[in-house]
Structure 1
Amino acid sequence: MPLRKRKTSQANPAGQSVSGANEAEVRNDGGYNAGMAVFSYIIGGIIVWSLIGWGLDNLWGTRWIVLLGALLGAAGGFYLSHMHGLTKQSTSAGERDADSGPSKDGDSNAK
């Protein structure tokens, strides 16, 4: 069986390492990865805190703590994804700050 050549890592102008992939593909993949991370935080939080609530329900003989745990897990997942910066919108490659919103100096240059 012949050995395959390993793709070498190339540095792009921004200094980030891109291994055999086009820079635009790496940039476009970031939204998918961020979405999967947000989904994982939320689903993971719901599962973990629901299991904790289920255990407390069995221990104390109640039936509502599992629902509270699921809600707490979902809220915690949203909080973690927000704190990790996964919920903010990213600007496109050619867009500058001035193109993306109103002027930061207010109405001083309005006519």
Structure 2
Amino acid sequence: MRNVRKHAQAGRSATTRGASAPGVAGDNSDGGYNAGIAVFSYIVGGIIVWSLIGWGLDYLWGTRWIVLAGALLGAVGGFYLSHMHGLTSSRKNADERHAPSAPSQDGKDSAK
């Protein structure tokens, strides 16, 4: 016999949790390690891709500085992507969602 309640809860949690980035667990079972690897890959991948684009433009235009600008742009872009996917925030609410960064509605600080 199947336990219908257990099966329904498993299906609901699988559809509602949703991973915030590829390769990152939505239930945060080992999210610290996976999030760190995702942030690292976004930043290093951005540096590599944009450095290659800058290198190609340097080759075409006969300059030397665009590769450095591309590396900087790739690092900033990788950090931006990881921030937008919620991988760089360590603040959590009790229900394991990211804490809001805006002030509360009544204007009072909720920090204790």
TM-score (normalizing by structure 2): 0.60
Give the one of 13, 16, 21 matched to 1:15: 13
Which residue in the other structure is 1:72 paired with?
A: 73
User: 1:31-50 counterparts in 2 under 5 A?
Assistant: 31-50=32-51
Query: Share of identical aligned residues, percent?
Result: 68
Which residue in the other structure is 2:23 paired with?
A: none
Per-residue deviation, residues 55-94 of structure 1 (Å, max 9, x unmatched): 00000000000000000000000110011111111438xx
Q: In 2 relative to 1, CA 69–38 (structure 1 residues): closer, same or farther, beyond 3 Å?
A: same
Gaps of 5+ in 1: 1-9, 18-25
Which residue in the other structure is 1:61 paired with?
A: 62
Q: 1:86 aligned to 2:87? A: yes
Number of positions where the alignment pairs a residue of Structure 1 with one of Structure 2: 84
Q: Who wins on radius of gyration, i.e. which is larger? A: 1
- C-alpha separation in 1, matches of 2:56 and 2:78: 20
C-alpha root-mean-square deviation of aligned residues, in Å? 3.0
- C-alpha separation in 2, matches of 1:58 and 1:96: 52
Identify, as 1 or 2, the structure richer in strand: 1
Structure 1 runs of 4+ with >3 Å offset: none
Deviation at 1:33, TM superposition (A): 0.4
- C-alpha separation in 1, matches of 2:28 and 2:84: 21
Which residue in the other structure is 1:3 paired with?
A: none
